[in-house]
Amino acid sequence: MDQLHQLTITQAYSLLRSKEITSRELTRSVLDRIARINSKVNAFITICEDSAMARAAMADERIQSGNGGPLTGIPISVKDVLCTRGIRTTCASKILEDFVPPYDAAVVEKLNNAGTVMVGKVNMDEFAMGSSNENSGFMITKNPWDVSRIPGGSSGGSAVSVSADMCLGSIGSDTGGSIRQPASHCSVAGLKPTYGRVSRYGLVAFASSLDQIGPIGKCVSDCAILMNALAGYDPKDSTSVNIPVPDYSDLPENGLKGVKIGIPKEYEAAEGLAPDVSAAVDRAVVTLEKLGAEKVSVSLPHTRYAVAAYYVIAPSEASSNLARYDGVKYGFRDPAAENLIGMYKQTRSNGFGKEVKRRIIIGTYCLSAGYYDAYYGKASQVRTMIMEDFKRAFTHCDAILSPVAPEPPFRIGEKTDDPLTMYLSDIFTLSANLAGIPGISIPCGFSGDGLPIGLQIMGKHFDEHGILKIASEFERATDFNTKKPDI
């Protein structure tokens, strides 16, 4: 029973339903695993041992009475950007170090209703701003495949907790690749849903028109099961879309005959694309063709402007959203301040980290009088052009394939002094957020150094089921998702 933490959600559900194991045994195995290795990888900010065991006992009663579902009794982790009632929510920032929300985020409430067992809140880049998990106000999360390397960000703690078997699934958020990129770097599956498919109520905002919550799992079917719980209309979220939700876990094994996969010519010549990554993605395309898919060439001509547009829009929205952290209402307040203006300045200077302050300054500048039209307005126009590019491309194909990241996970500290190079880590993922379309990252190979490489599959608006189907067929034809880090 001490290896139960290695199970997938799908496997655990089968064993729980047949009463071969209990949720308490499963949760105990996960908590023991966290106790053994969290100091090596720094995945968790807050570990909820007592409440987890209590919820596991409740889940066992629910299963015993015949009322359990696919997620009942399943231990999960939650990114520390989602509000959890009675459990601190820090956003990995000193300014919210002791903040305890009085309510649950909509997705947390849904997961609680499904009977999941939250074992803890996981580390991230501060306020979800970063691509490497080096911007946390508390610690640097490390990649379990090589602890000298970054796990990706900002949902690095989520990806590491799943990859290292410290939970069976996790919930992250994705503003510019923050689910897909760490999923790629940690060799797990990570899905960014269509903007509006999952409620953002209770998600601490970074960039409100880009943020989206999604699942990270050990396999595609686990992501599908989590999506069944997460998706749906929420009247508390004005951006939530009221359309029917399919059964994402309905993924028949009937191949990909008739499916057209688009290969953007702009991605093939992208700046900084490592040979190992390019080769792994090329092999993945061949595998999909063997499964019956047809490869077609498509064009996304405004891709070259995606990084620039994103790093105007996202900081601008962040500067507005983060104005509420002023030391007055909640969170950290610098006690040494002698007057109101001094309190504002010192609270924000000492409470925010370097990257958050950098983006607030950029965003405030872009929104300032005389510059709004030249920067934010122009970036919004480019965003519309990127959306139109995808619409045209999807008239020729059912899904678009690309790398997730231009290179395998790099060493901790390698790019911290060069923000512009760091920002290029998101070159393949940003466009999906700007366009609002869904995208999934799945393992597709390893570099010569044994580091994970991910394949990104992007779909039409609200076609999560379509890209999950392609991803599941690829996963069944390969064994990349079965390989585990030696930690």
Give the residue numbers marked as catalytic.
79, 154, 178
Side chain identity, residue 68: G
Phi then psi dihedrals of residue 430, to 5 deg = -60, -40
Q: Please state the length of the chain.
A: 487
What does DSSP assign to residue 440? E
Rg, Å, the chain Cα set: 21
Closest by Cα among 123, 119, 95, 194 to 462: 194
Closest by Cα among 165, 112, 237, 225 to 5: 165
Q: Using alpha carbons only, give the angle 121, 422, 269 rounded to the nearest 5 degrees.
A: 120
Token pair, residue 249, equals: 């876990």
The Cα 464–Cα 462 span in angstroms is 6
What residue has token string 């379509």? 466
Decide: 162 and 217 in contact? Cβ < 8 Å.
yes
**DSSP-derived 3-state class of residue 471:** helix
Beta strands in 132-188 (DSSP E): 169-174
The Cα 143–Cα 185 span in angstroms is 8
**DSSP-derived 3-state class of residue 294:** strand
Token pair, residue 36, equals: 């053994």
Token pair, residue 384, equals: 């519309």
The β-bridge partners of 212 are: 174
323 burial (CB, 10 Å; 0-12 / 13-18 / 19+) is: exposed
Packing angle of the helix pair 306-321, 378-393 (nearest 10 deg): 130
Half-sphere exposure in the Cβ direction for 428 (13 Å, CA): 35
Decide: 443 and 481 in contact? Cβ < 8 Å.
yes
Q: 14 Cβ partners below 8 Å, 6+ apart? A: none
Closest by Cα among 152, 6, 123, 141 to 75: 6
Beta strands in 283-343 (DSSP E): 294-298
Token pair, residue 387, equals: 């959306």
**DSSP-derived 3-state class of residue 348:** helix
Decide: 10 and 82 in contact? Cβ < 8 Å.
no
> Cα separations (Å) of 16 from 13, 22, 53, 119, 480?
5, 6, 16, 18, 26
